[in-house]
Chains A and B, each alone.
Chain A
């Protein structure tokens, strides 16, 4: 299968600082990437859809100014958690959409665990 990486795998930061998480599709180009948030023992919640060269589409209830998404190239999307607070601590997962003829499939990164002190 295709490979999607995330960096960093875990990050600890102080309250009020900003944290950037990178999501890369390593062996295919992805015009669309997705960002999810996963709370302990809970499911993945879609935060936003990242589109290369255009603005991200955010799900209802997700603060656009707090979770900044940039999809500047066909292999890289970044999520910046601005002015992070302890309640932003979570596991953030990205996926990249590979389109192949009539079949589209999302490939997931390994996730980034964010802890805000």
Chain B
């Protein structure tokens, strides 16, 4: 158990809908990352937050957004969903920023868009 909790584990929704994925980082970790794992794109970095502020952005679509709350949990919002958004979405956390990628991953949320 990495200590990173993601909910829900599975999500099935229709095209055009909006969903919210939730992540609780390890206790004491200030940095949260979101990754998308799909068959065609592999593991792709989406976005990073550090202590409530956006720190880095990767291949995140405009239809997607995220935030980190004062209690350090994070949410990834996916809207106007398309079939191609079906993927496994991982959250990871680390103690501080500047760890050069060393992070602990949650078990992921599997999103299926039908």
Q: Is the A/B pair a real complex?
A: no
A-side residues, CB < 8 A to B, are none
B-side residues, CB < 8 A to A, are none
